[in-house]
Structure 1
Amino acid sequence: PEPLSPLDLAFWNIESAGHPLHMGGLFVFDADTPDAAQRAAGLIAARAARTPGLNTRIRSVLFSVGGAARAVAPGFDPLDHVHLTTPVRDFLTAAGILMQQPLDRERPPWAAHVLPGADGASFAVLFTFHHAHADGLRAASYVLRLFDGASSDGPADAPRPRKNDSGLLRLPGLRELPGLVRGAVTDAGRGLSIASAMVGAALDVNSSPALVSRATGARRAEGAVVGLHDVNRIREATGGTANDVLLAVVAGGMRRWLDKRGDGSDGVRPRALVPVSLRDPSDPTASGNRLSGYLTRLPVDEAEPRARLRAVREAMQRNKQAGPAGGAGAVALLADFIPPLGHRFGGGLIARSGRLFYDLLVSSVPLRGAHGLTLANSRVREAYPLAPLAPGQSLAVGITTYENHVFFGLLADAVAVPDLDLLARSITEEAAELVAVCGA
């Protein structure tokens, strides 16, 4: 068994039946034959049986008390995780309903829902992974192994455990003690710095009623698509990074959305938590989460598109200069300071505290090396990442790039945000205006 890290343990304990904490990825395919969806379901199940990591479940352990570990599930059957639905007319609507269903915690915490299209010419697959099982990059690596031509068709590397997570108690030698003391002092100082920044973020709230409504657990999903060429033209004309442009598009889209729905955008600067991967590129098979984050304010109240983009770029530059180990966005690193029993019994409190210091999640999940993806010889035409929606949160935005498009996957509380389709249209409108005003 591989013990869960403190961050994985936190993700495992903060969900409830009414507020599941899993991420999703919705892939839409052009079906090459009428039975493509059925063949895709069979291929996913067959390949999952040969993909290391998909057969591991999470179980409580005696030591450390309150902890948990990953271990191979006895009698693992991929057919318990691959579900073929009846034909659907709207893939994103169906995905929203499926995202509100919790994963079976007694089995490996993942699922693949194959959705045949009512038109007979397309189908979709919604992959879901519990956040305790994988972060976004790890989940993407699982998914890519299940497509045609992936490495799951042959031998694959087993997940590598975290360093120093063996679960064995080892007493330090005398020579190691000074370094351990210095490390403990440094870690304590970093923890206090992050906690202090979180308090500051909690005291400075400039959000909107749409983002602070009481969450219900119901889910709705929508998507927006922007041309990658347009994003690159804006970046070349204004400087900064493509990620700065995408955050500015989200900010401008939210401004349009709030004004259209009558809430107004004056004075609204929501706190966006932007996850930052700490995953070692040379160790892509490592299990668990490798995450920190940046906390940045989206300049929704800024009327001029170029000024919004400039404000986003300057805020992200400040975050990058401080690094992912400091500031309120590095809240994930505080999990290391909480003992396993604290995660076990304080999960609900930790979950509800998230809304105190951030208003929405904006997560970018790259599909590294992905191009011309197919499943059952059917080509992927759309890919929408669906970021996890924590208890107390109304909206999460996932972003990924596939071939020549940028896909925004929007997941929201269906009661708090009943007009999510309006936000999706507003995002595409904002991208078009940015291209126009930047003279790109």
Structure 2
Amino acid sequence: MQRLTGMDASFLYMETPTMPMHVSGLYIYDPRSAPRSYGFDEIRAEVERRLHLLPPYRRRLVEVPFQLHHPLWIEDPDFDLDYHLRRAALPSPGGHRELAELAADIHSRPMDRTRPLWDMHIVEGLEDGMMAVIARTHHAAIDGASGVDITVNLLDIEPEPAPVPPPEQPWKPDRIPSDAELVAYALQSLSRQPVSAAKAVRRSIETAFAIRRRNREPDVNPPPAPFAAPRTSINRAITPHRSFGMAEIPLEDVKAVRKALGGTVNDVILAVCAGALRRWFDDRGEVLERPLVAMCPISIRTEDQRGALGNQVSSMLTSLATDIDDPVERLKVIQDGTKHAKEQAGAIGAEAMTQWAELAAPAVAARAARLYSRTRMASRHRPIFNVTISNVPGPAFPLYMAGAQLQAWYPMGPINDGGGLNMTVMSYLGTIHFGLVACPDVVPEVQALADHLHTSLEELVKAAEVASTV
């Protein structure tokens, strides 16, 4: 039995009927590399023999009565693997369009909190004989980095499945605690909160003064403040519907741009997204009053926390410089912006955010989120930011599921009221895979936006080639 941290629990409190807070992955496999037959039964067998390597897969939530404190994880005494594994088939012709529609539909569905918060759809009927897996796990259990760790634990680095070491101890389900036990445990934890609150207040005051001093320095260009983003058509209250767009670009091209024009791989990816967004808004005839602002999650995992589950994330706001026509100049502004945004995020520190998250009152937080969603408040004020852009590094070596090689790995993140677009990036085997999740009632034609990513990269590659010859 383990209590959720405030950061993990916050993803439960933010959840509303229009805003499920799970993360998904779309994985495409080539069964031709499998040494034996490959299908649903083989995938099920692989998941079953690795369950002890996948702790969230057998844990379920237990809510504290009256929502006095954050929920608990327990080892589910009613765990049923077959509930979590489902079969699906694409309609003809089984191409990217049909697969994207299915992935969007699955991603839009809320998860059952009385069960472990994950599921896996094994999809047949893809063109060229491919198979796909659409896997979902709630954000309360994982972040981007721990999600990659779980995926890697499910897979092999050779076509022949490797022996799986047995668990150190046999798995043992928990007894569901009584209401009285849950309340007593909550009150014991809450008794320590006044001390934690005092520390959080002191830390926040110190941080505010430090940021104010830093941002007044002459050579500092502070990152955008919350609510400084422009009003746009994509920043409104969302509906329960989802759409999904996919794109791939070579990692080699991104590194070539970085080498020629400076910055980091993440800076180049932000610039690629910025160029694509400019074209998408131009296609719609929408004029932006100021540069778009992206919210970028930042991993705060230390070396000691590598492999740990749950959320170890902070975030930064950065300008996408979409008001600048020249792609090279736009990249330079993004480079400068991310540098200062990271420095400010470092000044705030991860501890301040986790302390305040720990102090959140579950009942109040959950009701506030539902009220905000139900009244569609996001359509009435300036957005905190315009778009979420997340970059998750993946393995550079091939991976296999029951012998079938993983060909493509498209990430799918959550969207929020006021931010109807999530652009998440996963690098795998020399390719950067973009997964664009949107609310189609707010962001129409998300695949058109995904297609613009190629053109945006081509601009930067040409500029890099010119810079390399000078």
Normalised to the residue count of structure 2, the TM-score between the two structures is: 0.81
1:38-58, Cα deviation, whole Å (9 max, x unpaired):
244323541453332310011
Residue 262 (structure 1) aligned to one of 278, 285, 297: 285
Q: Is the Cα contact below 8 Å between 1:292 and 1:325 reproduced in 2?
A: no
Q: Is the Cα contact below 8 Å between 1:364 and 1:400 reproduced in 2?
A: yes
Q: For the structure 1 residues 259 and 157, does the alpha-carbon distance in structure 2 shift closer, same or farther, using more than 3 Å as the test?
A: farther
CA separation in 2, counterparts of 1:277 and 1:311? Answer: 23
Q: 1:128 aligns to what SS in structure 2?
A: strand
Give the C-alpha shift of residue 341 in structure 1.
3.5
Q: Is the Cα contact below 8 Å between 1:213 and 1:416 reproduced in 2?
A: yes
CA separation in 2, counterparts of 1:297 and 1:395? Answer: 16
Query: 1:43 aligned to 2:51?
Result: no
Q: Which residue of 2 aligns with 1:343?
A: 365
Q: Is the Cα contact below 8 Å between 1:39 and 1:376 reproduced in 2?
A: no
Q: 1:282 aligns to what SS in structure 2?
A: helix
CA separation in 1, counterparts of 2:326 and 2:307? Answer: 44
Matches within 5 A, 1:294-333: 294-324=316-346, 326=348
Q: For the structure 1 residues 208 and 194, does the alpha-carbon distance in structure 2 shift closer, same or farther, using more than 3 Å as the test?
A: farther
Q: Is the Cα contact below 8 Å between 2:231 and 2:383 reproduced in 1?
A: no
Q: Is the Cα contact below 8 Å between 2:21 and 2:414 reproduced in 1?
A: yes
Normalised to the residue count of structure 1, the TM-score between the two structures is: 0.86
1:239-292, Cα deviation, whole Å (9 max, x unpaired):
11110000010001111111123224x534222110011122333342321111
Q: Is the Cα contact below 8 Å between 1:397 and 1:410 reproduced in 2?
A: yes
| Greater CA drift, 234-243 or 150-159 | 150-159
CA separation in 1, counterparts of 2:227 and 2:442? Answer: 23
Query: 1:153 aligned to 2:164?
Result: yes
CA separation in 2, counterparts of 1:157 and 1:353? Answer: 50
Q: Which residue of 2 aligns with 1:73?
A: 76
Query: RMSD of aligned C-alpha atoms?
Result: 3.4
| Greater CA drift, 345-354 or 121-130 | 345-354
Q: 1:382 aligns to what SS in structure 2?
A: strand
Q: Is the Cα contact below 8 Å between 1:48 and 1:78 reproduced in 2?
A: no
Query: 1:135 aligned to 2:143?
Result: yes
Q: For the structure 1 residues 68 and 309, does the alpha-carbon distance in structure 2 shift closer, same or farther, using more than 3 Å as the test?
A: same
Q: Which residue type is aligned with residue 6 of structure 2?
A: P
Q: Is the Cα contact below 8 Å between 2:296 and 2:389 reproduced in 1?
A: yes
Q: For the structure 1 residues 156 and 392, does the alpha-carbon distance in structure 2 shift closer, same or farther, using more than 3 Å as the test?
A: farther
Q: For the structure 1 residues 151 and 191, does the alpha-carbon distance in structure 2 shift closer, same or farther, using more than 3 Å as the test?
A: farther
CA separation in 2, counterparts of 1:195 and 1:292? Answer: 16
Q: Which structure 1 residue ranges, 4+ long, deviate > 4 Å from structure 2?
A: 149-152, 156-159, 166-172, 190-197, 330-334, 349-355
1:300-329, Cα deviation, whole Å (9 max, x unpaired):
12110001100100000101222345399x
Q: Which residue of 1 aligns with 2:23?
A: 23
CA separation in 2, counterparts of 1:337 and 1:193? Answer: 22
Give the C-alpha shift of residue 401 in structure 1.
0.7
Q: Which residue type is aligned with residue 16 of structure 1?
A: T
Q: Which residue of 2 aligns with 1:7?
A: 7
Residue 436 (structure 1) aligned to one of 438, 462, 466: 462
Q: 1:154 aligns to what SS in structure 2?
A: coil
Q: Is the Cα contact below 8 Å between 1:224 and 1:424 reproduced in 2?
A: yes
**Structure showing greater Rg:** 2
CA separation in 2, counterparts of 1:324 and 1:47? Answer: 41
Q: For the structure 1 residues 169 and 388, does the alpha-carbon distance in structure 2 shift closer, same or farther, using more than 3 Å as the test?
A: closer
CA separation in 2, counterparts of 1:392 and 1:40? Answer: 42
Give the C-alpha shift of residue 431 in structure 1.
0.4
Q: Which residue of 2 aligns with 1:365?
A: 392
For this pair of structures, how many residues does the alignment match? 424
Q: Is the Cα contact below 8 Å between 1:384 and 1:408 reproduced in 2?
A: yes
Gap runs ≥5 in structure 1? 160-165
Give the C-alpha shift of residue 96 in structure 1.
0.9
CA separation in 2, counterparts of 1:313 and 1:154? Answer: 45
Gap runs ≥5 in structure 2? 172-184, 216-223
1:175-204, Cα deviation, whole Å (9 max, x unpaired):
xx9xx898445323267679999xx83442
